Homo-oligomer: A and B are copies of this chain.
Amino acid sequence: MTDVVTPPTSPVSRERSKEIKRLSVISTARQVRMLSRAELTELTGLSPATLTPLVRELIAEGYLIERGPGTSRTGRPRAMLEFNPRAELVAAVSLEPSRISCEIADSDGAVIAHRTVRLTGDIVDTICRFVPELAGDGLSALRGVAIAAPGVSSGGAVRLAPSVGLVEARPVGESVQQRLGVPVVVDNDVNLMAAGEHAAGAGSDVADLLLLHVADGIGAGLVLDGQVRRGAGGAAGEVGFLPLDPADRGHDGIGPFEARWSENAVAERMVALAPGRRPDSPVAALVELAATDERAAAYLDELLTAWARLIVSCVCVIDPGRVLLSGAAAQLDDAAVARLQTLVTAAAPSHTEVRRAVLGDRAVLHGAVSYALSAAAAAGLPTP
């Protein structure tokens, strides 16, 4: 009857505050890996008296494992506690055209199980059968699922999604969430990569970054103040649409910039520069060729100039402080990256560091882990 939309839950119910402490201890333990109760007192600010029963609880639940006594100069040695990454598992599902790949990882991002299958039948069905099967007896530790889809975003912008038969992102997420009973996040792959590099890669030391992913198209993932930002319609980072050259024209959901400067475009140019079969890694091939071929060198510089303008444009809008090159852009060698850095520094209004992303293919997985863990945390702790 009274179907309250916002169940007017108390902002500070009693259990909530306990939950907060639990999470505080768990996240501290996750970072430090091996610590004693005394260290927990220092790091969390909780009193020893509060910690004793809490730690007991966490040991019982498998989050912490009691190890032998540690070292100490004098006094009673501290009983060490080890964080058990296996206590929290997440599933990262990656939708690709006609395939689904799934990985079960612990909270370190260590892959415990993975498999790839050809997509047959309903996506939701496949995922809901697949994940529990892979997780095995670790299913009870599953804390969240992150689904990466190319070019799709939570808002339902379905630019590239039809290629995987995904019409709308949200329903898939909700269906899976209902059937598996754990939080599910759906996001596009570039956002997940950005989250991954932020959590465990070349951006783990900063709160803001922009990941520029060059592939068939060009997209960016945006982390501001430690969070992936998707924009109002989930279309943040569609930098392939930047109108940097009035002469460029996009078409059919391809932006004007990416039409001219994506990996595809480079591949086509490479065929002209070095007749033969189309290279698998055109950017890497271009960098190599540029060392000996003047025309290639000129084109490389043209490419770097274009990418630099793209980066500068992003920097002017959001000032990420750090830009990570991903996908084909990560194939640039040191000299090319340095050249890009120089071009960016010359035109950007604020200090910006240009680096290669470091996680490569594993970025999506790490992002999924990070998403799923924070989704799990958010589920236990609804925003007040």
User: Measuring CB to CB, which residues of chain A are less than 8 angstroms from any residue of chain B?
Assistant: 8-12, 17, 20-21, 24, 42-47, 155, 157, 159, 206-208, 220, 222, 224-225, 227, 229-244, 246, 255, 309, 312-322, 347-351, 384
Q: Which 10 pairs show the lowest CB-CB distances between chains A and B?
A: A232-B321, A231-B319, A235-B350, A8-B45, A235-B319, A208-B232, A10-B45, A236-B319, A233-B350, A238-B349
Contact B349 A229 (CB under 8 A): no
Q: Which residues of B contact A322 (CB under 8 A)?
A: 232
Q: Which residues of B contact A21 (CB under 8 A)?
A: 11-12
Instruction: Determine the distance from Cα of A8 to Cα of B46 in the docked complex, in whole angstroms.
Output: 8
Distance from A239 Cβ to chain B, minimum over Cβ atoms (Å): 5
Contact A321 B233 (CB under 8 A): yes
Q: Which residues of B contact A314 (CB under 8 A)?
A: 317
Q: Which residues of B contact A231 (CB under 8 A)?
A: 208, 224, 318-321, 350
Contact A222 B318 (CB under 8 A): yes
Q: Which residues of B contact A233 (CB under 8 A)?
A: 319, 321, 350-351
Closest B-chain residue to A25, C-beta based? B11
Q: Which residues of B contact A229 (CB under 8 A)?
A: 224-225, 229, 318
Distance from A64 Cβ to chain B, minimum over Cβ atoms (Å): 18
Instruction: Determine the distance from Cα of A318 to Cα of B228 in the docked complex, in whole angstroms.
Output: 11
Distance from A175 Cβ to chain B, minimum over Cβ atoms (Å): 25
Distance from A210 Cβ to chain B, minimum over Cβ atoms (Å): 9
Closest B-chain residue to A308, C-beta based? B243
Q: Which residues of B contact A319 (CB under 8 A)?
A: 230-238
Distance from A220 Cβ to chain B, minimum over Cβ atoms (Å): 7
Closest B-chain residue to A239, C-beta based? B316
Distance from A218 Cβ to chain B, minimum over Cβ atoms (Å): 10
